[in-house]
Structure 1
Amino acid sequence: MSWRAAVLTLFPEMFPGPLGLSLAGRALERGDWSLQTHNLRDHGLGRHRAVDDTPFGGGAGLVMRPDVVDAALSQALPPGDRRAVIYLTPRGRRLTQADAGRYAEGEGVVLLCGRYEGIDERVLDARGIEQVSIGDYVLSGGEPAALVLLDSVVRLLPGVMGSERSGLEESFADGLLEYPHYTKPADWQGRAAPEMLLSGNHAAIAAWRRAAAEADTRARRPDLWEQYASRTRFSALPITAAHRN
């Protein structure tokens, strides 16, 4: 069975979008994964298929109704479906590479895309829906975030990337940003590629890349560096009797 994605949205025409191209698109054509969209408007109420209403307590904007969202989820999730259900929202925990790997190992995901001021919290609580953010900023809706999440996961599915090694040396794979890359020409506009990379000494090249990855992570992402440094400090501690127990 291929990995299955479903997206609940008011704008199904936004999919597959860029996911229909390149690696993800070819994998979609091969059947390595599938994508189904569900139009939330199909479950709207009344002649105008309303999906939202004014927020209790007042305030600007509209909130998507829990009954409409629940009806759409019931259609998208048949009994026994064990896929993760994820609501894309800036209020969620931040998406990580580890999350992408976890989702890739499952049967698929069901992504809920909000609009307006968001979705009534009660349906999220009732269904135990994961709330995930792709970053500390606000988008017009969850659709771009859903595309980002799907791209991060689909590329990890077996056979999608040409080289299994590609995923092992990427940013975040071992807690560091990836090292910088260089290719021909060796000298470009007076800027030479690092001499070490042209040496043919594979051990020295690996050491250079590790040092470059550590330096870039420390300079650009001190939050990641602190986590990495803490782990490496702990792993370097001598094994004592207390550790053995």
Structure 2
Amino acid sequence: MVPVLTGAEPFAHEGSDDIGVLLCHGFTGTPHSMRPWAEHLAAEGFSVRVPLLPGHGTRWQDMNRTRWQHWYDRLDTHFGQLSARCRSTFVFGLSMGGTLALRLAQRHGAEVAGLALVNPSLTTLQRGARLVPLLSKVWPSVAGIADNIAKPGVHEVAYDRTPLRAAASLQQLWGVVRDDLGRVQQPLLLFRSAVDPVVPAISSRLLLDGVTSDDVTEVVLPDSYHVATLDHDAPTIFAASTEFARRVHESRVGEAA
């Protein structure tokens, strides 16, 4: 078995039975990109899980043996464990982690108390994207997307290559999630970097136009690139998502009383 990269390990914290948060890392990334966010939420008393998705955190070649259903199933398992012990369970995600979080919300409905998403991906504008399914059959990988961070000196533990078979599966996930956006009715907190070289702004527009949530807030991050959870605006993400979870939980408890 290939060992997990140093810093890519999953994270878990047993906190309050009131609020639980499942955090989802991005495509070719690892829990490292979510670790500061997770530690902040844990310090606030929440129960927290950050699983390592299948195929991630070892070698990029391992990702080409996985598909989006494998990534989703790992998150679904952790969501079930967390929701079994917490009164309100939230799902927070970065990039593809946001896409998977949306799928959890579509499948689980009101069991998902709310979503906080950072630069979630639903499409790409890159040239040649339509050729990925074909190219993936003969070409294993292309240049990676890691370390897209404005803050100097910050390194993301992630693959330096993009596995094309896995990328083709990600495109399939985008289609599935876009088709069911109307089923997303949960409170939604969306963080979008003003400059994101990885995920185009149209992804956020597709999301906001497609969901049917009544409680939607968009926050534009002025000083961060794609991996905003490790960037200049990370404190804004951490503080706003904490307040969001507490507010939504208190509303749910009040409605149930």
What is the TM-score normalised by the length of structure 2? Answer: 0.33
**Greater RCO structure (CA 8 Å; 6+ sep):** 2
